[in-house]
Amino acid sequence: PLPNLWQEITDLAEACLLAAAAIVGAKNLTIIAMGKFGGRELTYASDLDLMFVGDDFRAAQHLITVLSIPSPEGVIASLDARLRPEGEKGPLVGSLEAFEAYYRDRAQFWEIQALTRARPVAGPNQETFRAIAHAAWSIAGRDPDLFGKIDAMVQRVRAERGSGNDALDFKTGLGGIVEAEFLVQALQMRHDVRETSVRLAIAKLANIISPEDADLLGRGYEFLRRLETVLRRWRNTSASSLPPDPVEQRKLAIRMGFKDREGWQQGCERARADIHAIYGKHFGG
């Protein structure tokens, strides 16, 4: 099953990360997994989104270097630490107090939203960071304009990262992966549902959005993530849109277990239509 594959890829990435942390002596560094790494839902060619808490800048830098050293087989992992406070302009490592003050006073809304998937994986003060993250996103969840702000972020992601061909953009397009994930995070924030996995959060939201909608949302999301996984394994790249060539689409359909392109296309359209319909119920779109 697909969730088992995500878990296995995540476990492998986490084992590599912890081994590298031991090599560089990062025992005083608290390492926070974010995004799909935080949600234990990594797939092929996924970056490891990380944040570092503490005061050991040297250990954090060495950790990134160890995991990023090129070899004939490639790098161990592609790391992305830009979700930290102030992004690339901010310090690589920050204290608990600095993180808490940033999320309380200066963080952009999307940065707080991202904390719904924050998962400490190593180091001291893990529970303290969990409490800081939860306080930040649960307070933001009371914002009367919560859904308006998150919808604006969806539109921004679509404009900045989409190819301009909505039919091919299964990640950023209408009813795509981004709509599903941002909807789930908005509902988590509003109803204080603590769960870093999107798939498991959907199950926990069943009594809030209705079991029927949770089932459709979960099936649609898993279909698109399976499509993403198969496409990335096939192309060995972090693809997030479909190949435009019908012949290539047929190859993808067969790799996903369909007999023909037409049945696969119907599956894609149904998954996206279900996601977008449920998204519209909550965002008024």
The answer on pLDDT for 205 being more than 90 is: yes
Q: What is the pLDDT of residues 242-263, one digit of tens each?
A: 999 999 999 999 999 999 999 9
In the chain the domains, ranked by start, together with CATH numbers, are: 2-140 (3.30.460.10), 146-283 (1.20.120.330)
Q: What is the pLDDT of residue 78?
A: 87
Share of the chain above pLDDT 90, in %: 90
Q: What is the pLDDT of residue 137?
A: 98
Q: What is the pLDDT of residues 104-160, one digit of tens each?
A: 999 999 999 999 999 999 999 999 999 999 999 999 999 999 999 999 999 999 999
Q: What is the pLDDT of residue 58?
A: 96
Sign, CA dihedral 51-57-59-62, equals: positive
The answer on pLDDT for 232 being more than 70 is: yes
The pTM of this model reads: 0.94
Query: Lowest-pLDDT range, 1-5, 29-33, 233-237, 242-246?
Result: 233-237
| Cβ-contact 129, 96 below 8 angstroms | yes
User: Could you tell me which of 18, 33, 124 has the C-alpha nearest to residue 67?
Assistant: 18
Q: What is the pLDDT of residues 153-195, one digit of tens each?
A: 999 999 999 888 999 999 999 999 999 999 999 999 999 999 9
Q: What is the pLDDT of residue 285?
A: 53
- pLDDT bin (cut points 50, 70, 90) of residue 75 is confident
Structure tokens given for 67? 């995991």
Angle subtended by helix axes 2-24 and 211-235, to nearest 10? 60
Rounded to the nearest integer, the mean pLDDT of the chain is 95
User: Could you tell me which of 49, 43, 34 has the C-alpha nearest to residue 12?
Assistant: 43
User: Could you tell me which of 154, 143, 191, 206 has the C-alpha nearest to residue 176?
Assistant: 154
The residue-averaged pLDDT of 210-232 equals 97
Neighbours of 168 (CB within 10 A): 16
Share of the chain above pLDDT 70, in %: 100
Q: What is the pLDDT of residue 88?
A: 94
